[in-house]
Amino acid sequence: MAEEILGKSVQQLKKERTIAKSSFTRQAKFISRGASSMLQVELKEEFTKLSDCFRKMLDANDDYRIGLEADIKTEDEDGGLDELQEADIDKSVKEGETKLEEIRDIVQTNLWSKYGGSELPVAILEAEKANDKAADVPVESANLEGYEVHLVLLDKRIKEAISAMSTWERWIPVELKDELGGRVKDLRASYYRLELRKAEFATARTINEQGTGVKLLPQPATFTPINQGASEEPEEETVPQTLPEQKVAEEDSATPAQLELETRARERGPLCAGNTKLGNFPSRGTNKSFSIESILSRNEDETRSSSCRNGSMCGFCAESPAAVKDEEKNENEEKIEDEEKNDDEEKDKNEDEEKIEEEEKIEDKNEDEEKNEDKDKIKEKKEEEEKEEEEKNEDKEKNEDEEKNEGAG
């Protein structure tokens, strides 16, 4: 019995198989409809879910087969599945494999055309360029350190190409797989040859030192940054120094208010303590327009910058009404898209449930018809047996009557 082996009846196993088939079909429809708008991560995740559904469907199909065989063997030890049952089980497996391969082609086309088709060939091409540059370095005494830099860069590019190859190996089209894999293998072999070439540079260095008698100091192999020339920190401004005579003349021409303000500023230190690059307070020789008006304007600038940071006084910091409207519009569009997706999923579920019910009804009808046919056959056999028995009885009676008549004569 199936219940003794699997703990479930054949009807339960059949229902579980139908549910697994419907979930697999639903996931396949979802991917085929939205594959063109999915991102790289989404495509891979959804295909992984489809593979899991396919595996569950195969497991349910195998359990159903085992349950059927167990029930048949309880009635007849030598019995097995009939042709209809075998065909039904094999059909489920073949349909699932065909659908999985179809969806895999869709996912592969989208992944390779959008992402892999540019990422992997570019990584291999960059490694090939680095390989050519390292191979073109002439064997000279002065090029030893530079050649080591090229080898380090080449090793980095080859590792990037190998990593990209392992990421996209599953989704590479069949016609390109051998070509791209061969290029990566050639790069690795070329790197080993170029690494052995370092001995030639070391030999050239030794010969040069012996000939000239001057030993060259080894210099560290360093990379040149891409944004060389664009320094991250601005250069400090140099404040021009004033001559003592000019200083005395300026002090004589300064007003009492300016002298008092400068004395206070020297006692306090720099105006902005957070800016370490301003240095000491500038003298009158560097900024002759220093006055009360400049201090007031600087205070106004500071209040404006603080209000801008708080987001209360600066119009650039606050969101404009147009931006708010755009955000609301985008949110509404996303909600509408989510509702449409939910409606589509509900429709798919309802359709799948209706199909499941129809399939179960059809299978039940077929079983009932087969049972009725078996009953009719059994009835016919019984009727034939009864007729044969009646004929035998009649023959016996006739024989007895004949024997009686012969005895009386």
Looking at residue 137, what is its pLDDT? 94
pLDDT of residue 325: 66
**How high is the pLDDT of residue 305?**
53
**Band of pLDDT at residue 241, cut at 50, 70 and 90:** very low
Q: Which residue has the higher pLDDT, 296 or 8?
A: 8
Sketch the domain layout of the chain as residue ranges: 127-212, 243-279, 298-331
Position 292 scores a pLDDT of 53
Residues 24-67: tens digit of each pLDDT: 999 999 999 999 999 999 999 999 999 999 999 999 999 988 88
- DSSP string of 151-199, one letter each residue: HHHHHHHHHHHHHHHHHHGGGS-HHHHHHHHHHHHHHHHHHHHHHHTHH
pLDDT at 134 > cutoff 50:
yes
Give tens-digit pLDDT for 243-272: 444 444 455 555 656 666 666 666 555 444
Q: Please list, in sequence order, all residues whose beta carbon lies within 8 angstroms of the beta carbon of residue 114, skipping any fewer than 6 positions away.
A: 40
Which string of DSSP letters, residue by residue, matches 272-317? Answer: -TT-TTS-SPPPTTT-TT-SHHHHHHHHHHHHHHHHHHHTSS-TTT
